[in-house]
């Protein structure tokens, strides 16, 4: 079975460039979405413990293996993520086991540290209390940050995970400084880095650093999805222009979403669009080629660069931590703990 366009990771495994995202897919929608995506031909799924829908993802997978002729586990690249309340080294493997159990799988293709931030100990061993709050369960409380666990501690535990359960390991939402810290302390270079990336947040320096270290980039929120009610990038006139021009040139409809996904993959990166809408799942799977002129026009949207996913600003409950060094995070009272 074809794996589509794919890239070799530094771990020796191949990752398909196009994947299917599952954040904000409700449990009721996600099993159908996963099944439809696999039926459409997607070979890469992006999951996470914190999305709260992995048990339903498992149902979609089960149905797909039963009903899609010839589809086998090894045909699909499956990523999931260690949540912030699971960073203490002694529970990292238990957290992976819990994740595999939720998904009904024997192994993940890629296991990522979701954020370079440790939350306080959850109420159960694997950190089931995903958002421990200051002031108990007061809705206005902040999440309790645990400054006693560093990203190096957690990364060391990740490097000890059996390859039979996590074929490749990587990180997400890490900056160059965070990557430097974990690589210097362990000598183990993450296979992949998953980051917010779209024309409004090109992350050129981080991309260049990762290219030098042979760390694969996966882009999330490629349509500019955000929790701030800002319209998606598919509505921007510059992106629509490119789509219209390509539609005329090729004689078949090219959509703004396809333009953004093609842009995200320039340079061999992966991208993981999320949709629970059947027509969009198909639309996002269709690949198109961009000319240098198209790329320039897409990038013209980003004269002012803008990060949407800043947990200090966007998340409720709030995380009082400066992760990215973004202007908006300056008042935060916690920093990422590189080592303790």
Which runs of consecutive H residues, i.e. helices, occur in the chain? 27-40, 54-67, 89-103, 151-159, 176-186, 204-213, 237-250, 256-265, 278-285, 292-299, 311-314
Please list every residue from 275 through 294 that binds ligand NAP, using CB under 6 A. 275-277, 280, 283-284
Q: Is the CB of 44 or the CB of 121 nearer to ligand NAP?
A: 44
Determine which residue in the list 172, 265, 270, 322 makes contact with ligand NAP, applying CB under 6 A. 172
| Cβ nearer to ligand NAP, comparing 206 with 234 | 234
Cβ proximity of 233 and 260 under 8 Å = yes
Residue ranges in 76-115 that form contacts with ligand NAP under rule CB under 6 A: 114
Cis peptide before 126 (omega within 30 of 0): no
**Active-site residue, selected from the candidate residues 20, 42, 51, 312:** 51
Least distance CB 140 / ligand NAP (angstroms): 24
| 312 part of the active site | no
- Tokens coding 29: 């929608």
Report the residue number, 6 or 197, with the smaller CB distance to ligand NAP: 197
Q: Which of residues 136-165 bind ligand NAP (CB under 6 A)?
A: none
In this chain, which stretch among 84-92, 120-128, 244-252, 273-281 interacts with ligand NAP, using CB under 6 A?
Answer: 273-281
Q: Within a 10 A sphere around the Cβ of 190, how many other Cβ atoms? A: 30
Strand partners, 196: 220
Neighbours of 170 (CB within 10 A): 26
Angle at Cα 207 formed by Cα 167 and Cα 99, nearest 5°?
30
The residue with its CB nearest to ligand NAP is 21
Q: Which is nearer to ligand NAP, 28 or 135 (CB)?
A: 28
Separate counts of helices (H) and strands (E) for the chain:
11, 12
> By the criterion CB under 6 A, which residues form the site for ligand NAP?
21-24, 46, 114, 172-173, 194, 220-223, 225, 232, 234, 257, 272-277, 280, 283-284, 309
């Amino acid at each position: 079975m074809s794996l589509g366009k794919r890239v070799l990771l530094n771990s020796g495994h191949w990752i398909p460039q196009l994947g299917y995202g599952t954040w904000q897919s409700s449990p009721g929608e996600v099993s159908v979405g996963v099944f439809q995506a696999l039926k459409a031909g997607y070979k890469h799924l992006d999951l996470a413990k914190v999305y709260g829908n992995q048990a339903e993802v498992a149902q979609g997978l089960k149905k797909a293996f039963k009903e899609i002729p010839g589809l086998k586990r090894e045909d699909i690249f499956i990523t999931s993520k260690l949540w912030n309340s699971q960073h203490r080294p002694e529970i990292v493997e238990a957290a992976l086991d819990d994740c595999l159990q939720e998904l009904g799988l024997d192994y993940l293709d890629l296991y990522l540290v979701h954020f370079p931030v440790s939350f306080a100990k959850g109420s159960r061993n694997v950190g089931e209390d995903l958002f421990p709050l200051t002031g108990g369960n007061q809705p206005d409380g902040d999440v309790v940050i645990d400054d006693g666990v560093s990203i190096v501690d957690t990364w060391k535990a990740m490097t000890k995970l059996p390859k039979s359960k996590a074929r490749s390991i990587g990180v997400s939402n890490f900056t160059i400084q965070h990557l430097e810290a974990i690589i210097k302390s362990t000598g183990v270079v993450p296979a992949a880095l998953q980051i917010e990336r779209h024309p409004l947040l090109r992350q050129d320096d981080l991309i260049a650093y990762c290219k030098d270290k042979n760390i694969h980039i996966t882009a999330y929120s490629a349509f500019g999805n955000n929790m701030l009610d800002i319209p998606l990038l598919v509505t921007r006139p510059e992106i629509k222009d490119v789509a219209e021009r390509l539609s005329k040139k090729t004689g078949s409809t090219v959509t703004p979403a396809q333009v953004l996904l093609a842009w995200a993959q320039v340079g061999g990166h992966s991208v993981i669009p999320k949709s629970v809408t059947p027509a969009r799942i198909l639309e996002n799977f269709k690949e198109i080629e961009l000319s240098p002129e198209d790329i320039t026009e897409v990038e013209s949207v980003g004269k002012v660069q803008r990060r949407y996913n800043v947990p200090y600003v966007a998340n409720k409950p709030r995380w009082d931590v400066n992760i990215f060094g973004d202007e908006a995070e300056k008042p935060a009272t916690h920093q990422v703990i590189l080592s303790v």
